Amino acid sequence: MKPTFLTIVFAGLFILITSCKQGAKDLAPKKPNIVFIMSDDHAYQAISAYDERLIKTPNIDRIAKEGMLFTNASVTNSICAPSRAVILTGKHSHINGKIDNISPFDTTNVTFPQLLQKAGYQTAMFGKLHFGNNPKGFDEFKILPGQGDYYNPRFITATGDTIVTGYVTDITTDLTLDWLQNRRDAKKPFMLMYLHKAPHRSWMPAPRHYKEFTKNAYPLPATLFDNYATRETTAGPAEMNILKHMTLRYDLKITDEVLEELNIEEHLGIGGLNKFNPEQRAEWDKVYGPINEAFKKEYGNMNDSTLMVWKYQRYMQDYLGTIAAVDENVGRVLNYLDDEGLTENTIVIYTSDQGFYLGEHGWFDKRFMYNESFKTPLLIKWPNVITPGTTEDEMVQNLDFAQTFLEVAGVTAPEDMQGKSLVPLLIGEKEKWDRDAVYYHYYEYPAEHAVKRHYGIATKEFKLIHFYYDVDVWELYDREKDPQELNNVFNDPDYAQVVSELKDKLNGLRKKYKDSDSLSNQYIQLYKDKGLIEE
């Protein structure tokens, strides 16, 4: 039957009313929204988009499936607070001044959130910042003080501190979704920094996950028993070996009572247990009590090898258990963006402040320029811009994030920023990307974990590292032939030409980024002035 005039009118009115309702729900801005998700110490090996052997992370993986997975992303300085300063400022540590976890962040630095806020973006930050300073350039923030706590954490806000009962990963997400739902201005584009504490040491999973993950067994890394034969003056002295330096009490949750029975002395208490309420502690003891009893029975029969394996398994159970909650909560945020019609106009980034050792070379922690701590996960989705399911192997760094976000928002980056916008890679114009090497510099020594000061250059094929201060050691790794970085070929005659070329290229990068031996000596003197180095 042919539609009447009134039928057409009513149909048009229905479409108009529906469109108005949708428009009232969310007046989508032309500039894209930015959701920056970062975890703390999340190894790329513990994301199934990179490697499926340890854990499944379907929600984080979804960002790669709907966008781009970077396989050669790295950091400029593999330690928590300096990495965050690099991300915020778009400048290397020696320029922004935040070289380590000890020195304060210089708040005269201009950060990309300040520039986005000035350009009309609504900005918010929830979770772990790690600086001692309140963040600049944010309309709203709730951040953890320092490292924060896994259970019943305290948050710093612009109006005072508050303690929230529950598990930190869930709470950080609750705060994020509450802001999106109730205080986001639909007339403005937004930039949201959603920052997880997990999986930072001392690796305390949520109850729903420690019940499951403490039953799991994991494959041993090929280099778990590395003897550092070609790196004895650099890797050997580092205090991050699972057997020697991972504590039974603080890291692996063996109680004082059991340690006393076994006549084992340790100085670090079990991290975070003092934050439990009685109900949480009872639930914890139901699972970790039997683990303690089993260890007490088995310990007398353990040798170094079996104790190393036991420690590795306990480490992985708790570390990966914390990641399970991160993945679930990332899914909550992605689903919210979908449900509220925000996905199409939102760029989502998932990364970590650096990589982490999951038993490779026998280690935990980070700091070295070796792959597991130097490389970092990076997954980005941007609907209708990035081709879904793309893998990118270009050399990119956390140094590049600030300029990327500014270009995405149509804001001109300050000339003194040192990174490169990733936009050409994101939009498929790879021919415009001309970087073939990245620069790295680590400063925090002498300090926890005893990783010596070093700087270096990495290309897709090679990595050249110079350790300095109380040593003068060079290392060269053939990244294609020796991906596990076990063989230092710096003194191999077959690589003499490579060494020469890379030294020249390294000097060029140091000049480009305004780093120098003189500046390194200034930072050494700073440690002496603070009494961190004896004269």
Convert the pLDDT of each residue in 277-322 to its tens digit.
Answer: 999 999 999 999 999 999 999 999 999 999 999 999 999 999 999 9
Q: Is residue 387 part of a domain?
A: yes
Task: Give 18's pLDDT tier (boundaries 50, 70, 90).
Answer: very low
Number of domains in the chain: 2
Range scoring the smallest mean pLDDT among 12-16, 100-104, 420-424, 475-479: 12-16
Residue 11: is its pLDDT beyond 60? no
Same domain, 342 and 300: no
Same domain, 326 and 301: no
Long-range contacts of 523-532 (CB under 8 A, 24+ apart): 523/94, 523/99, 523/443, 524/453, 524/469, 526/103, 527/446, 530/102, 532/102, 532/446, 532/447
Report how far residue 191's alpha carbon sits from residue 82's, in angstroms, rounded to the nearest whole number: 21
Query: What pLDDT, on a 0 to 100 scale, did the predictor assign at position 268?
Result: 78
Same domain, 64 and 127: yes
Q: Is residue 8 part of a domain?
A: no
Q: Is residue 250 part of a domain?
A: yes
Q: Is residue 57 part of a domain?
A: yes
Q: Which domain holds residue 427?
A: 33-203+314-530
Q: Is residue 19 part of a domain?
A: no
Helix, strand, coil tally for the chain in percent (to 5): 40, 15, 45
State the CATH number of the domain containing residue 381: 3.40.720.10
Q: What is the DSSP letter of 412?
A: P
Q: Count CA within 13 A, CB hemisphere, residue 484.
A: 14
Task: Give 2's pLDDT tier (boundaries 50, 70, 90).
Answer: very low
Same domain, 453 and 394: yes
Same domain, 435 and 384: yes
Q: Is residue 397 part of a domain?
A: yes
Residue 243: left if φ>0, alpha if ψ -120 to 50, beta else—which one? alpha
pTM equals 0.93
Task: Give 274's pLDDT tier (boundaries 50, 70, 90).
Answer: confident
Decide: 66 and 383 in contact? Cβ < 8 Å: yes
Residue 131: left if φ>0, alpha if ψ -120 to 50, beta else—which one? beta
Higher pLDDT, 19 or 253: 253
Number of neighbouring beta carbons within 10 Å of residue 232: 12
Task: Give 1's pLDDT tier (boundaries 50, 70, 90).
Answer: very low
Same domain, 525 and 506: yes
Query: In 119-159, which residue ranges form alpha helices assigned H by DSSP?
Result: none
Same domain, 287 and 435: no
Domain boundary residue among 313, 337, 365? 313
Same domain, 238 and 172: no
Residue 501: is its pLDDT beyond 70? yes
> Looking at residues 40-58, what average pLDDT do you find?
98
Q: Is residue 487 part of a domain?
A: yes
Six-digit token pair at 397? 């760094």
Query: What pLDDT, on a 0 to 100 scale, did the predictor assign at position 10?
Result: 37
Domain boundary residue among 258, 292, 313? 313
Same domain, 198 and 256: no
> Among 326, 351, 323, which residue's Cα sits nearest to residue 69?
351
Same domain, 288 and 361: no
Cβ partners under 8 Å of residue 203, min gap 6 = 251, 315, 318, 319, 321, 322
Q: What is the DSSP annotation of 343-393?
A: GGGEEEEEEESS---SSGGGB-S--SSSHHHHB--EEEE-TTTSPTTEEE-
| CA distances (Å), origin 243, targets 278, 364, 524 | 32, 10, 31
Note if the bond before 202 is cis, omega within 30 degrees: yes
Report how far residue 82's alpha carbon sits from residue 88's, in angstroms, rounded to the nearest whole number: 10
- Amino acid identity for residue 474 in this structure: W
Query: What pLDDT, on a 0 to 100 scale, did the predictor assign at position 8?
Result: 34
Domain boundary residue among 313, 343, 372? 313
Q: What angle in degrees, to the nearest 10, is found between the helix axes of 304-339 and 168-182?
A: 10
Same domain, 274 and 343: no
Report how far residue 421's alpha carbon sits from residue 424's, in angstroms, rounded to the nearest whole number: 7
What is the enclosing helix (H) or strand (E) of 73? strand 73-74
Same domain, 436 and 525: yes
> Looking at residues 423-432, what average pLDDT do you find?
97
Q: Using one digit for the tens of pLDDT, what is the confidence trace for 76-125?
A: 999 999 999 999 999 999 999 999 999 889 999 999 999 999 999 999 99
Q: Is residue 27 part of a domain?
A: no
